[in-house]
């Protein structure tokens, strides 16, 4: 069992209609990769469209994947500095093309994404990107009512004299979100092959879920943590690239060397996950008891993962630095680099937090203070008909905004509605 929760760090997408028969993709955070395609030049002969109301199916279309790889990807994605961009570009093109509807015009638009999530650090940045890819493509293909809540909100607020401030939460219906989630999962498959579906589900729906993979005939699946309450965490990027395949291989070696102890450790990790699920889904457990219990589970979980060989010297240093402040930390994702996560109690002093983050930065790491378990997918459709100059000015501001200020800049645009 694994527990996944949304963090208050996002991937943002800015999309706007074009009139020149092209689509464009711009990835400023991936070494400013950018490209435009003439829509009719794409390999449409390799597409078997998925009709409205139909599911994609469990497998990617190998014919379309091959056509994109050999006939649609520009040469630039094969350069070393754009290695991460290649998967993102392929996912974007796959979803765009597979959503084509026979007899209807192919949508022409520009698509720019920025991320406040550390990229490639095991925090689900690709899933957040996939949610943006799915949502934007569904909107431009006119296959979703994702923008309908905006019209309803404007009409309803005009009819009453007072509205309760909820910052747009729970404005997008779950059935609409689930349609986006299905296609976000397809984008994740393009990028990762065999994802669990946890990351994209959390990115779209927000909150937290527990996931159990089907093993030896046992039933797998996902359960929402409906009693989940937002918790503050410090995410620290070790800036050490992860090598998931090597880590998995090393863990496999450890398990073979001592299968009895390995089985005991895996059972203990499973027990920690189950206990964490119980605590997080119990609405009656006192807040102080919850946070204290979670801290102990985090410490135990990291110790067991370290024993399996999943940690790294940088992650251990982060654990030591946070331990000086009485805080509990564990590795995230596959470990071996990437990020560490530290639970911050409600009564932890702001001054102490500033001192801790300064120490982490001095040690060469990048901390991010965030909350876990918040809202999922958000949409902010532009009202009216902006001019080409206005679109370009907004795009320029979006691209130039410093990453650490991007969330604040986005919120200032107003009108966000969330799942």
Q: Catalytic positions, please?
A: 199
By CB neighbour count within 10 A (0-12 exposed, 13-18 middle, 19+ buried), where does 328 fall? Answer: buried
Q: Which residues of 246-260 are buried (b: 16+ CB within 10 A; e: fewer)?
A: ebeebbeebbeeeee
> What is the distance between the alpha carbons of residues 108 and 41, in angstroms, rounded to a whole number?
13
Q: Who's near 121: CB < 8 A, 6+ residues apart?
A: 237, 238, 242, 332, 333, 337, 338, 339
Total number of residues shown for the chain: 419
Give dist(CA 20, CA 178) in Å, integer: 32
Residue 398 backbone class (left: φ over 0; alpha: ψ -120 to 50; beta: rest): alpha
Residues 171, 417: Cα–Cα separation, whole Å: 6
Strand 109-115 relative to strand 22-27, pairing: parallel
Q: Considering only CA atoms, which of 191, 39, 24 is closest in space to residue 113?
A: 24
Candidates 13, 252, 213, 237; CA nearest to 110 is 13
- Residue written as token pair 């490209």: 35
Helices 259-280 and 287-307 meet at what angle, rounded to 10? 160
For 151-200, the DSSP string reads: HHHHHHHHHSS-----TTTT-S-HHHHHHHHHHHHHHHHHHHSS--SHHH
CA–CA dist 197, 126 (Å, integer)? 12
């Amino acid at each position: 069992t694994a527990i996944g929760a949304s963090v208050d760090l996002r991937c943002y997408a800015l999309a706007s209609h074009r009139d020149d028969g092209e689509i464009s993709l711009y990835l400023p955070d991936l070494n400013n990769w950018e490209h435009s395609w003439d829509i009719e030049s794409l390999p449409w002969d390799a597409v078997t469209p998925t009709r409205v109301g139909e599911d994609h199916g469990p497998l990617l279309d190998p014919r379309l994947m091959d056509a994109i790889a050999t006939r649609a990807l520009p040469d630039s994605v094969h350069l070393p500095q754009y290695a991460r961009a290649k998967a993102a570009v392929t996912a974007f093109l796959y979803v765009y093309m597979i959503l084509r509807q026979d007899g209807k015009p192919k949508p022409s638009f520009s698509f720019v994404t920025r991320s406040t999530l550390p990229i490639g650090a095991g925090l689900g940045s690709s899933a957040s990107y996939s949610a943006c890819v799915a949502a934007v493509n569904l909107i431009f293909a006119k296959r979703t009512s994702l923008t309908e809540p905006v019209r309803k909100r404007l009409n309803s607020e005009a009819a009453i004299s007072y509205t309760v401030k909820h910052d747009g939460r729970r404005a997008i219906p779950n059935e609409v979100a689930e349609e986006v989630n299905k296609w976000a999962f397809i984008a994740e498959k393009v990028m990762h092959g065999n994802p669990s579906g946890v990351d994209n589900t959390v990115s779209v729906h927000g909150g937290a879920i527990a996931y159990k993979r089907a093993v030896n005939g046992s039933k797998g699946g996902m359960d929402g943590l409906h009693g989940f309450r937002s918790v503050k965490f410090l995410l620290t990027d070790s800036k050490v690239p992860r090598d998931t395949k090597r880590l998995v291989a090393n863990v496999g070696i450890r398990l073979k060397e001592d299968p009895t102890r390995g089985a005991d450790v895996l059972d203990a990790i499973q027990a920690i996950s189950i206990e964490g699920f119980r605590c997080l889904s119990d609405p009656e457990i006192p807040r102080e008891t919850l946070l204290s219990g979670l801290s102990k589970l985090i410490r135990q979980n990291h110790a067991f993962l370290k024993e399996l060989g999943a940690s790294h010297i940088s992650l251990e240093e982060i654990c030591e630095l946070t331990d000086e402040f009485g805080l509990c930390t564990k590795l995230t994702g596959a470990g071996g680099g990437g990020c560490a996560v530290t639970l911050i109690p409600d009564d932890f002093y702001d001054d102490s937090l500033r001192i801790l983050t300064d120490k982490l930065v001095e040690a060469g790491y990048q901390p991010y203070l965030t909350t876990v378990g918040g809202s999922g997918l958000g949409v902010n459709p532009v009202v009216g008909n902006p001019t080409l100059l206005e679109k370009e000015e907004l795009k320029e501001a979006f691209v130039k905004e410093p990453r650490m200020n991007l969330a604040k800049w986005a919120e200032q645009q107003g009108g966000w509605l969330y799942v």
